[in-house]
């Protein structure tokens, strides 16, 4: 930050914008929560929220929608961060939704719990009476997300209506809702993947080890490298191999692909991201490959 | 690196989305998988060229109808600057989405189809850009390929636009002849228009000077949130969190708090990363004062010798955005201005502006969807504001319907009383 010219560099501007939104929501809503997946974007969100309220603790709980198909490193990271921040963790379990018959597990080798999460999330919103949910979605991730407002209105069914969004003017956010409705709030809307990594490096934010290149048993599926785990069923043609990989996004183990990489530290990751020709979701997410509008369709139903 | 935020504007089919696609494509900001997906969709829809508009028209309905419905945000960077693009819809029905995209912009690109010249939507959007006081406006005369890159035709559009713009307040106006489809004068200067002596559009975007567009004079700090840790370590801590919306604050500054009028001194400006010696917009900081006074969200901290107007009566230009209701005298609405929420009543509609002629229709009965007019509002609480012309942050507000909760108007303060 150069004080003499009163200019903020791009990371400072993005940070200021996000902090403004965290504080605005904490002021205007009764029961906000921060959705946390253990991915880099939600780790960034937790960091920004901490900055927004320092030296006080987070004035809202952290919500993890747990598919049960987690990277163990990510769960360990989550628990440690929550402890350090003295934050309150709410876990909404997809397994529990299955056990209670709210949803049925998909069948077949490509079964994933990705879509089931929506029901678990919406049930948790209702149960906890959350009225604002912070999400780490970024507009550069995907074409439906490119259309999101900072405050994204959801009706009593949790639905997003992309054809009829509230206008959003200047930085004046309309948080007015009726009972049962809620707002999804996206403080890092304007960050790109590269901004996220540059900021993680600048702020020296700790991230789970799966983001750095490491040797792992993987197999090819739909042009992606999936990790072998108890959550996937391999066919006889899907042979295991050992590759040096890292993750660009971290989600459900059954549908998040790894990329081959030599990047073992943040500097190397930033170099890699700067020269990559494939988007992070294109490289690594089976859940977006279902159809052209897979993300839009899931979002309309109430997905993240 | 510095950001430039810009928005597209202009009528349907004038080539806004294609231009953004072209800018992204020619600056190599498109990823392989995005391009493959757009190529496949173009082919499937029977397009002759790869339809670059699909890079921003991401919704199912937009692709089916071949139009832009809502703003799409896209990002790219060159070695000189980072850009945030808002690609907005041209259709009059979606004007509120255009205003959404333009409200935070430093610069607006108004596209005009060289064959059709300046049409009603070009005028409407230029007017809105001037009303929103977007400091820089670039008119892109597009589809030059369809008129043989003809200089005379370009000059005619330029002349026509200038004539209209003379009646508006636009501080920086420029013109570029382009073909969004073929990329002429978008990233590189085109050999097909040797008569054009200006720079390419991208070059212009990289060079336009925006640093002086902010207000560094009138110190304004709307209190957003009060930080009270309630922990042993920070037992007596009481910090006022918010975003600086004008001027500069330093520890030791004498300040006054509105509405109470109490004065105090800035004890420190805090952040997670340590104390801050000078806070300016748009920094989000936490301020502590030397004296214990009662301050809450919606209050405004400023300097005793430079205070905003404090009044319950506002004069404003409003753009009405509701499909289901009209703005009428005596109507009551919810208002949000800085961090302050209030209720207002419409005292009077003074006039409505005809965007084609800029003629004022005096005393209309109402303002309908997409209409713009000047109104007097009476607030239940005093507001602390500046003229929008002086400060976009303390001069703007939104109005919300108290029943449906919809955002129904954008407001620009032009005076008090
Ligand atoms: N010939 C020609 N066609 C163009 C040009 N720019 C856009 N178009 C076409 O005009 C139509 C509308 O473009 P689009 O970008 O969707 O316009 P928008 O509604 O302003 O976003 C599409 O068929 C484009 O291919 C241009 O420079 N030359
Ligand atoms: Mg368009």
Asked if the Cβ–Cβ distance from B97 to A165 is below 8 Å, we say: yes
B311 φ/ψ sector (left φ>0, alpha ψ -120 to 50, else beta): beta
- Count other Cβ atoms within 10 Å, centred on residue B328: 12
> Quick one: which ligand is closest to B69's CA?
2
pLDDT over 80 (residue A287): no
The CA-based angle A247-A250-A252, given to 5 degrees, is 125
CATH class of B2-212: alpha beta
Average pLDDT over residues B219-227: 98
User: Would the CB of B392 count as within 6 Å of ligand 1?
Assistant: no
d(CA A117, CA A106): 12
Whole-number Cα distances in Å, A31 to A180, B280, B400, B410: 12, 31, 22, 28
Q: Which domains does chain A have, with CATH numbers?
A: 10-194 (3.40.50.620), 205-288 (no CATH)
The region that residue B7 occupies, defined by phi over 0 for left and psi between -120 and 50 for alpha, beta otherwise, is beta
The finding on whether B15 has its CB within 6 A of some atom of ligand 1 is yes
Q: Are A147 and A162 in contact (CB under 8 A)?
A: yes
**Which pLDDT band, with edges at 50, 70 and 90, does B51 fall under?**
confident
Q: Say yes or no for a CB contact (<8 Å) between A162 and B59.
A: yes
- Check pLDDT > 70 for residue B111: yes
Q: Give the separation between CA B56 and CA A144, rounded to whole angstroms.
A: 9
Q: Which chain B residue has the Cα nearest residue A293?
A: B60
**Yes or no, beta carbons of B71 and A147 under 8 Å apart:** yes
Give me the mean pLDDT over the A46-52 stretch: 98
Question: Which of A16, A144, A278 has its CB closest to that of B284?
Answer: A16
Q: What are phi and psi of A49, to 5 degrees?
A: -65, -40
What is the Cα–Cα distance from A240 to A225, expressed in whole angstroms?
Answer: 10
When scoring B56, B58, B392 by the number of chain A Cβ atoms within 10 A, the one with the most, hence best to mutate, is B58
pLDDT for A109: 72
Pull the structure tokens for residue B109.
């690109």
**Cβ atoms B178, B186 nearer than 8 A:** yes
| Chain A residues closer than 8 Å to B34 by CB | 279, 282
Q: Give the architecture-level CATH label for domain B309-416.
A: Beta Barrel (2.40)
Closest to A131 measured CA to CA, from A46, A44, A51, A61: A61
Tokens of B315: 């004069």
Taking the C-alpha atoms of A112, A114, A118 and A123 in order, what is their torsion angle to the nearest 10 degrees?
60
Ligand 1 pocket test, candidate residues B42, B53, B94, most atoms within 8 A of CB: B53
Pairwise CA distance, residues B241 & B226, whole Å: 6
Mutation choice for A interface testing from B75, B274, B341 by most A CBs within 10 A: B75
Q: At what angle do helices A266-275 and A193-203 cross, to 10 degrees?
A: 160
Ligand 2 centre to CA of B89 (Å) is 5
Tell me, in angstroms, the distance from the centre of ligand 1 to residue B119's CA: 16
What distance in angstroms lies between residue B19's CA and the mean position of ligand 2's atoms?
9
Residue range B173-190, pLDDT digits in tens: 999 999 999 999 999 999
With a 6 Å cutoff on the Cβ, whether B14 touches ligand 1 is: yes
Q: Provide mean pLDDT across the span A33-53.
A: 95
What tens digit of pLDDT does each residue of B319-348 get? 999 999 999 999 999 999 999 999 999 999
Q: Is the pLDDT of residue A111 over 60?
A: yes
Tokens 């945030």 belong to which residue? B84
Measured from the Cα of B142, ligand 1's closest atom is 27
Q: Which atom of ligand 1 is nearest to the CA of B10?
A: 20
Average pLDDT over residues B202-229: 93
Please tell me the distance from the alpha carbon of residue B256 to that of residue B380, in angstroms, as a whole number. 22
In sign, the C-alpha dihedral spanning A220, A221, A225, A230 is negative
Asked whether this complex has an ipTM greater than 0.85, the answer is yes
CA dist B62 and B88 (Å) reads 12
Structure tokens belonging to residue B9: 């504007």
The per-residue pLDDT for A2 is: 45
B365 to chain A, minimum CA–CA distance in Å? Answer: 24
Tell me if residue A222 falls in helix, strand or coil: coil
Distance A138 CA to ligand 2 centre (A): 21
Integer Cα distance of B259 and B299 in angstroms:
6
CA neighbours within 13 Å on the CB side: how many for A264?
4
Query: By mean pLDDT, which of A57-71, A81-95, A217-231 is the weakest?
Result: A217-231
What tokens appear for A108 in the block? 């077949």
Q: What is the pLDDT of residues A121-148, one digit of tens each?
A: 999 999 999 999 999 999 998 888 999 9
Q: Whose CA is nearest to atom 19 of ligand 1?
A: B13
**Superfamily holding B220-302:** Translation factors (2.40.30.10)
Band of pLDDT at residue A288, cut at 50, 70 and 90: low
SS3 content of chain B, % helix, strand, coil (to 5): 20, 35, 45
- Ligand 2 (ion): which residues have CB within 5 A? B 16-17, 68
CA–CA separation, A12 and A32 (whole Å): 25
Which residue's entry shows tokens 């073909």? B179
Q: What's the pLDDT tens digit per position in B284-305?
A: 999 999 998 999 999 999 999 9
Confidence of residue A286 (pLDDT cuts 50, 70, 90): low
Question: Quick check: A1 pLDDT over 60?
Answer: no
SS3 B410: strand
Entry pTM: 0.93
For A150, the token pair is: 């900072």
Region at A123 (left for phi over 0; alpha for psi -120 to 50; beta for the rest): alpha
Q: Do B99 and A167 touch (CB under 8 A)?
A: yes
Greater confidence (B303 vs B68) lies with B303
Least confident stretch, A39-43, A47-51, A79-83, B228-232: B228-232
Locate CATH 2.40.30.10 in chain B: 220-302, 309-416
Q: Is the CB of B53 under 6 A from ligand 1?
A: yes
Distance CA A176, CA A104 (A): 35
Decide: A165 and B391 in contact? Cβ < 8 Å: no
Cis amide bond preceding A46, omega within 30: no
Paired residues of B339 in beta bridges: none
pLDDT at residue A20 in the model? 98
Task: Report the pLDDT value the prediction gives residue A221, as an integer from 0 to 100.
Answer: 85
* CATH 3.40.50.300 residue spans of chain B: 2-212
Q: What is the distance, to the nearest Å, from the Cα of residue B335 to the centroid of all Cα atoms in its chain?
A: 19
Å from CA of A261 to ligand 1 middle = 40
């Amino acid at each position: 930050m150069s004080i003499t010219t009163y200019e903020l560099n791009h990371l400072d501007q993005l940070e200021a914008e996000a902090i403004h939104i965290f504080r605005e929501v904490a002021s205007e809503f009764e029961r906000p929560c921060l959705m946390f997946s253990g991915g880099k974007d939600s780790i960034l969100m937790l960091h920004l929220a901490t900055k927004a309220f320092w030296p006080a603790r987070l004035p809202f709980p952290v919500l993890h929608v747990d598919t049960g198909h987690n990277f163990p490193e990510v769960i360990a990271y989550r628990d440690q961060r929550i402890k350090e921040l003295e934050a309150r963790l709410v876990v909404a379990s997809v397994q529990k939704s299955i056990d209670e018959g709210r949803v049925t597990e998909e069948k077949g080798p490509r079964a994933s719990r990705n879509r089931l999460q929506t029901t678990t999330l919406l049930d948790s919103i209702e149960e906890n009476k959350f009225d604002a949910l912070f999400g780490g979605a970024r507009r550069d991730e995907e074409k439906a997300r490119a259309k999101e407002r900072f405050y994204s209105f959801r009706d009593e069914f949790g639905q997003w209506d992309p054809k009829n969004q509230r206008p959003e003017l200047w930085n004046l956010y309309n948080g007015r809702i009726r009972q049962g409705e809620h707002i999804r709030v996206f403080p890092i809307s304007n960050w790109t993947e590269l901004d996220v990594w540059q900021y993680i490096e600048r702020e020296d934010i700790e991230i789970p080890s799966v983001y750095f290149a490491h040797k792992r048993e993987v197999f090819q599926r739909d042009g992606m490298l999936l990790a072998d785990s108890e959550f996937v069923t391999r066919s006889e043609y899907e042979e295991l191999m050992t590759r040096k990989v890292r993750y660009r996004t971290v989600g459900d183990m059954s549908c998040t692909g790894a990329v081959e990489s030599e990047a073992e530290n943040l500097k190397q990751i930033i170099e890699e991201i700067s020269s990559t020709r494939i988007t992070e979701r294109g490289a690594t997410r089976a859940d977006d490959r279902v159809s052209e509008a897979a993300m839009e369709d899931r979002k309309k139903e109430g997905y993240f | 690196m510095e950001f430039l935020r810009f928005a597209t504007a202009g009528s349907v089919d004038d080539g806004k989305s294609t231009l953004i696609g072209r800018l992204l494509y020619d600056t190599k900001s498109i990823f392989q998988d995005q391009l493959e997906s757009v190529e496949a969709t173009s082919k499937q829809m029977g397009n002759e060229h790869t339809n670059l508009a699909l890079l921003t028209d991401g919704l199912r309905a937009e692709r089916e109808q071949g139009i832009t419905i809502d703003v799409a945000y896209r990002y790219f960077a060159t070695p000189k600057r980072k850009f945030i693009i808002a690609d907005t819809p041209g259709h009059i029905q979606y004007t509120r989405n255009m205003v959404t995209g333009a409200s935070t912009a430093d610069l607006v690109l108004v596209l005009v189809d060289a064959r059709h010249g300046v049409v009603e939507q070009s005028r409407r959007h230029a007017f809105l850009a001037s009303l929103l006081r977007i400091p820089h406006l670039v008119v892109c005369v597009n589809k030059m390929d369809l008129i043989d890159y003809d200089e005379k035709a370009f000059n005619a559009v330029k002349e026509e636009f200038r004539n209209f713009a003379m009646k508006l307040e636009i501080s920086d106006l420029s013109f570029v002849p382009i073909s969004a489809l073929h990329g002429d004068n978008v990233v590189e200067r085109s050999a097909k228009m040797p008569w054009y002596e200006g720079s390419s559009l991208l070059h212009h975007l990289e060079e336009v000077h925006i640093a002086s567009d902010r207000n560094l004079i009138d110190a304004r700090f709307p209190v957003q949130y009060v930080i009270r840790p309630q922990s042993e370590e920070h037992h007596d801590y009481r910090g006022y969190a918010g975003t600086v919306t004008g001027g500069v604050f330093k520890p030791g500054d004498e300040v006054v708090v509105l509405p109470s009028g109490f004065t105090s001194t800035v004890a420190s400006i805090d952040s997670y990363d340590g104390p801050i010696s000078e806070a300016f917009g748009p920094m989000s900081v936490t301020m502590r004062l030397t004296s214990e006074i009662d301050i809450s969200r919606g209050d405004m901290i400023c300097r005793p010798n430079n205070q905003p107007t404090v009044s319950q009566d506002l004069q404003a230009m409003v753009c009405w955005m509701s499909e289901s209701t009209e703005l009428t005298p005596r109507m009551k609405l919810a208002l949000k201005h800085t961090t302050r929420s209030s209720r207002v009543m419409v005292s009077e509609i003074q006039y409505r502006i005809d965007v084609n002629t800029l003629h004022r229709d005096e005393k209309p009965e109402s303002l309908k969807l997409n209409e713009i007019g000047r109104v007097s509002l009476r607030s239940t609480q005093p507001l602390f504001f500046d003229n929008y012309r002086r400060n976009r942050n303390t001069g703007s507000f939104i109005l919300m319907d108290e029943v449906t909760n919809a955002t129904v108007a954008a407001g620009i303060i032009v005076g008090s009383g």
